[in-house]
Structure 1
Amino acid sequence: MESVGAASTPDPAETFSPRGGLAYAASAYGLWGLLPVFFLALVPMGPVELVAWRIVFSLVFCAVLLTATRSWHRVVAILRRGRTVAIMAAASVFIFINWQTYVFGTLSGHVVDAALGYFINPIFTVLIGVVVLRERLRAPQWVAVGIAGVAVVVLAVGYGTVPWIALVLATSFGLYGYIKKRVGGTVDALSGLTVESLFLLPVAAVALVVVSLTSELMIGAPGPWHVGLPILSGVVTAVPLLFFASASRRLPLVTMGLVQFVAPLLQFIVGVVLLREAMPLERWIGFGLVWVALVVLMVDLVVASRGTRRARAAAV
């Protein structure tokens, strides 16, 4: 998955608009799900150069949007808050790890592993609640965590090694989401991506220098599309993020939780159907266990949400 910034304060006119919210959510997760196809179109560009250009052109695209909407004051306000700057700097580290691992997995023929990472991400988020926030899990949540743990073991045995791409993606994105929640609704999606890209710009510059010294920069080398596509990577990064922010203002958490699986499902289909990545029996069993764990987790989420609504209605 991609950078998901905190949504800005809801606009009363936008709240309680499920139809429009579903369209935004489906567009965001659909675009994220098809990212492997976009990145593969940039071959023979390597993952280090690709991520570096993605950072550069994400910042350029954000700057254009901020200028068009006259919203630079939001970025300036963020940069004036020391605590928020520190949190955003930490978030940028984890999203960089996430981007680099995802692109490496895609270009090295591990799209299915990347999909697995985002399938297990909600379960890892639950574990963050236990370890970091000292939250107490309900029985179905423990069941889901246990099934997911068995799935990882099955997949590790089937692979002959730990599925590290999936685990790094789930871990980095889970920690990124946890850190971003620390700034709550004070950082909107566009400003958040802008600040993160600013922090990562020196990293991108160093990466491009290293690539140019050790091999050759591929931007523009195979043909003109290798100039246009890296530039487009900024749009591909920012637009789904803005769709996500719009959807989160219109849809309840439960609905967003269910729709999020569109992205890894599309990635899985791309990996298995289009790229014909190997799916031996033990891999199917591992994925099957992950999907069972997710069903348990989502059913518990729906039941808990209904219970909360009934309790609020009774209180009123």
Structure 2
Amino acid sequence: MTSEDEQQRARQGVLLAIGAYTMWGIAPIYFKQLAGVPALEILSHRVVWSFLLLALLLHFGRHWGSVRDVFRDKRKMVYLTSSAILIGFNWLLFIWAVNANHMLDASLGYYINPLINVLLGMLFLGERLRALQWVAVALAAGGVLIQLIAFGSVPLVAIGLACSFGFYGLLRKKVSVGAQTGLFVETLVLAPAALIYLLWIADSPSAHFTQNPITLNLLLFSAGIITTLPLLCFTGAATRLKLSTLGFFQYIGPSLMFLLAVLVYGEAFTVDKALTFVFIWGALIVFSFDGLRNNRRSKKALAK
């Protein structure tokens, strides 16, 4: 591949990364349109329609072989069943947070997530933290402790989202399965419970499709696209960009959520939240600086 081709792929990767994280960042706008629908019902739609959409993509892409390989591997199935439960919990908590006016907490959770990933890498993958990474983690912990000690509150939603997504990423890293195949198996694991809930348990006004306005039904059916499209963009970006480069786009999502929460939906940016965010933002500045510095050192070492 020529350097011109590599540059073209890198440009495509940047656009795909921006697209993925932007879609994740503005996803709350979609869920706000479903504010009258119970969170568990929205989650069930998200699982069912994502499963059907991914089945179509796997069929037309002729990737059923990779699915069969997963089914034959008990270890992979155990990991993916566990990751399915984690991502289901993460989706449910996120949907609830958005529609219960806790979008700032959701934003905080996804800001904390990169730091949780670093800690999990140290605890479970034997990775060592550099000095500045320890500083970043300490700053983040300090922000949460100040909120706990000075204001008597704990950002449970933020911690729940960050930890569930962090452990989800850890399991997916260990199982080493393609994004489409992995998400298909995960939605397959969750689909029976989602269908049972939609067909026999859900009893809200929106549960009766024939009585819903067509716009509401279209919104519910779109849950699969809202879930799958950013993932496909992210996968495309990951194959075209270095992981260190991709990492710097991950703050787009929580930043957009933060702006939506404060400027569009009028969530109160209280003193306890402000202090916690300042500490987390400080931690992420240190974390990003360390990443850039380490990347430059690696390039210099390779050049020698």
Contact in 1 for aligned 2:198/2:207 (Cα 8 Å): no
Moved over 4 A (4+): 12-16
What's the counterpart of residue 6 of structure 1? none
What's the counterpart of residue 268 of structure 1? 258
How far the C-alpha of 1:310 sits from its partner, in A, is 2.1
**More helix, by proportion:** 2
Structure 2 letter corresponding to 1:205: L
Structure 2 letter corresponding to 1:21: G
What's the counterpart of residue 9 of structure 1? none
What's the counterpart of residue 255 of structure 1? 245
CA distance in 1, matches of 2:166, 2:200: 30
Provide structure 1 residue ranges, at least 5 long, that are not aligned to the other structure. Answer: 1-11
Q: 1:149 aligns with which of 138, 141, 150?
A: 141
- Say if 1:232 and 1:14 are closer, same or farther in 2 by CA, change over 3 A: farther
How far the C-alpha of 1:14 sits from its partner, in A, is 8.0
What's the counterpart of residue 302 of structure 1? 292
- Say if 1:216 and 1:172 are closer, same or farther in 2 by CA, change over 3 A: same
What's the counterpart of residue 198 of structure 1? 188
CA distance in 1, matches of 2:150, 2:23: 30
Q: 1:26 aligns with which of 7, 12, 18?
A: 18
- Say if 1:224 and 1:158 are closer, same or farther in 2 by CA, change over 3 A: farther
How far the C-alpha of 1:216 sits from its partner, in A, is 4.6
How far the C-alpha of 1:121 sits from its partner, in A, is 0.4
What's the counterpart of residue 81 of structure 1? 73
Q: Do structure 1's residue 218 and structure 2's residue 207 form an aligned pair?
A: yes
Q: Do structure 1's residue 43 and structure 2's residue 35 form an aligned pair?
A: yes
| Pairs within 5 Å for 1:113-128 | 113-128=105-120
CA distance in 2, matches of 1:109, 1:255: 32
Structure 2 letter corresponding to 1:93: I
- Say if 1:67 and 1:270 are closer, same or farther in 2 by CA, change over 3 A: same
| Pairs within 5 Å for 1:165-184 | 165-184=157-176
CA distance in 2, matches of 1:14, 1:274: 41
How far the C-alpha of 1:210 sits from its partner, in A, is 6.2
How far the C-alpha of 1:189 sits from its partner, in A, is 1.5
TM-score with structure 2 setting the length: 0.93
Contact in 1 for aligned 2:10/2:240 (Cα 8 Å): yes
Structure 1 letter corresponding to 2:122: V
What secondary structure does 1:34 align onto?
A: helix
Q: Do structure 1's residue 238 and structure 2's residue 228 form an aligned pair?
A: yes
CA distance in 1, matches of 2:142, 2:64: 48
Structure 2 letter corresponding to 1:307: R
How far the C-alpha of 1:313 sits from its partner, in A, is 2.8
Q: Do structure 1's residue 111 and structure 2's residue 93 form an aligned pair?
A: no
- Say if 1:49 and 1:158 are closer, same or farther in 2 by CA, change over 3 A: farther
CA distance in 1, matches of 2:26, 2:213: 23
How far the C-alpha of 1:158 sits from its partner, in A, is 6.5
- Say if 1:14 and 1:246 are closer, same or farther in 2 by CA, change over 3 A: farther
What's the counterpart of residue 155 of structure 2? 163
What secondary structure does 1:259 align onto?
A: coil
- Say if 1:108 and 1:224 are closer, same or farther in 2 by CA, change over 3 A: same
How far the C-alpha of 1:258 sits from its partner, in A, is 0.7
Contact in 2 for aligned 1:189/1:245 (Cα 8 Å): yes
- Say if 1:146 and 1:19 are closer, same or farther in 2 by CA, change over 3 A: same
Q: Do structure 1's residue 290 and structure 2's residue 271 form an aligned pair?
A: no
- Say if 1:230 and 1:13 are closer, same or farther in 2 by CA, change over 3 A: farther
Moved more, 82-91 or 303-312: 303-312
How far the C-alpha of 1:165 sits from its partner, in A, is 0.5
How far the C-alpha of 1:217 sits from its partner, in A, is 4.4
Percent of aligned positions that are identical: 35
